[in-house]
């Protein structure tokens, strides 16, 4: 048996040992199954051959990508941590890789590798904002699956991940363009590496934009870094903001929110996480500025497209008090409101219920149906 195990391990290392294809649309799946059944039936080959075109609909399916000049973000549902897939017409980037849940489990194996296979993604770049395990926990699995991907990070030279892939330092001023979409690192500056005391202080902040829309991925920067970022960066305006430090009290300063002025603020935090993210006082700052704040514990995986910058698509389905199953898709300030027979984004566990929030019964029904991967994730520092 040991010899067989060694043989299988050796075979698994071959480049063509496994095959993965993008997940096809439902109609292509149905066509593929029908084609396979037709090919297997005891019929004349002239009839069985008709199943081949049906089968090819599933086998040759290509995942739809944004048009040139546009981009989309998919914030994966990884629990207490960050992981955002950015896709342009021909390129893809992964910003952070989620948490490690236990010795045997992490967001890379459980969420990101299956996600990347479903889209048949070949990542050009992996950005690890900083060294904390709720941002790098899934990195070994992702880097093993994506040998061609460049690693861009603020992790130190002695970090274990450097042995898997040498990382280029994340420094403000680095810019590149993919398919008409601009990418720019805004933080940290080179001098920050000499004097930082917390990994959060050197979180890589990435701005992505075209002429019509922009997104700002802020990592775990805190008030001091936010103030420095606002002072040296005049054009911080963005339609979508990945809320700094998961909505911690240490971040989302008024100065940053006034400079960015996002339409939508996305919090990636675990369901009922022990840190209380997003903090009530932080959520209040967003509400005061009429910024729609959405948390992944209720939204699940969230999709955002630069062609429709005021919309956010939540993948999780919820029930309101009437028992009607609803899909949540909202626009702008409507994300924060509840209308009859239409559930949009409910209050988070850390926000007070107001007239624009669900009732206690509605929230109980919502939380009953919500699930999370973040109950055992590493602390967000």
Encode pLDDT of 243-258 as tens digits: 999 999 999 999 999 9
Please tell me the total number of residues recorded for the chain in this structure.
Answer: 381
Cα 284 to Cα 202, 237, 259, 307, 366, distances in angstroms: 26, 20, 17, 28, 21
For 69, phi and psi rounded to 5 degrees? 90, -10
Buried b / exposed e over 281-290, threshold 16 CB at 10 Å, is ebbebbbeee
pLDDT at 90: 96
The pTM of the full predicted model, rounded to 2 decimals, is 0.79
DSSP 202: G
Q: What's the CA angle centered on 365, arms 363 and 366, to 5 degrees?
A: 60
CA distance 372 to 359: 22
Q: Collapsing DSSP states into helix, strand and coil, what is residue 317?
A: strand
Low-confidence stretches of the chain (pLDDT beneath 70): 317-381
Where do runs of H (alpha helix) occur along the chain?
Answer: 2-12, 26-40, 45-48, 51-59, 107, 113-118, 133-136, 139-145, 161-164, 192-195, 223-232, 254-260, 280-288, 296-299, 360-369
Encoding tokens for residue 205? 């902040």
Helix (H) or strand (E) holding 184, with range, is strand 181-187
DSSP symbol at 245: G
DSSP string, 284-312: HHHHHTT-EEEEHHHH-SEEEETTSTTEE
> Alpha-carbon torsion 21, 27, 29, 35, what sign?
negative
> CB of 347 within 8 A of CB of 353?
yes
Closest CA to 165 of 140, 188, 190: 140
For 53-113, the three-class secondary structure string (H helix, E strand, C coil) is HHHHHHHCCCCCCCCCCCCEEEECCCCCCCCEEEECCCCEEEECCCCECCCCCEHHHHHHH
Q: Number of helices and strands (H, E) in the chain?
A: 15, 16
- pLDDT of res. 336: 42
d(CA 326, CA 369): 12
Distance CA 146, CA 124 (A): 9
């Amino acid at each position: 048996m040991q010899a067989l195990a060694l043989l299988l391990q050796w075979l698994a290392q071959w480049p063509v040992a496994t095959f993965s294809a993008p997940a096809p649309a439902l109609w292509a799946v149905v066509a593929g199954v029908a084609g396979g059944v037709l090919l297997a039936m005891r019929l004349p080959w002239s009839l069985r051959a008709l199943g081949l075109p049906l089968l090819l609909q599933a086998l040759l399916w290509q995942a739809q990508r944004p048009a040139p000049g546009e981009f989309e973000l998919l914030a994966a549902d990884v629990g207490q941590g960050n992981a955002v897939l950015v896709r342009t017409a021909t390129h893809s980037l992964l910003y952070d890789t989620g948490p490690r849940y236990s010795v045997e489990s992490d967001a890379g194996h459980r969420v990101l590798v299956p996600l990347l296979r479903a889209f048949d993604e070949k990542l050009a770049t992996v950005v690890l904002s900083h060294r904390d395990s709720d941002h790098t926990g899934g990195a070994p699995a992702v880097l093993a699956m994506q040998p061609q991907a460049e690693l861009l990070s603020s992790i130190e030279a002695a970090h274990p991940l450097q042995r898997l892939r040498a990382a280029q330092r994340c420094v403000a001023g680095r810019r590149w363009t993919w398919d008409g979409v601009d990418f720019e690192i805004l933080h940290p500056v080179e001098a920050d590496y000499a004097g930082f005391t917390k990994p959060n202080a050197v979180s890589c902040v990435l701005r992505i934009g075209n002429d019509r829309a922009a997104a700002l991925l802020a990592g775990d920067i805190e008030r001091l870094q936010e103030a420095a970022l606002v002072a040296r960066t005049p054009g911080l305006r963005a339609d979508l903001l990945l809320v700094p430090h998961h909505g911690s009290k240490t971040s989302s300063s008024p100065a940053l929110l006034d400079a960015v002025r996002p339409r939508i603020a996305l919090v990636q935090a675990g369901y009922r996480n022990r840190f209380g993210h997003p903090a009530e006082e932080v959520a209040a700052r967003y509400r005061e500025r009429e910024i729609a704040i959405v948390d992944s514990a209720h939204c699940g995986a969230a999709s955002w497209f630069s062609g429709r910058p005021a919309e956010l698509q939540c993948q999780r389905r919820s029930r309101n008090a009437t028992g009607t199953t609803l899909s949540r898709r909202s626009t702008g300030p409507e994300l924060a409101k509840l209308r009859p027979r239409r559930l949009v984004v409910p209050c988070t566990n850390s926000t007070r219920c107001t007239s624009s929030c669900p009732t206690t019964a509605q929230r109980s029904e919502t939380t009953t149906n919500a699930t999370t991967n973040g109950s055992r994730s590493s602390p967000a520092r």
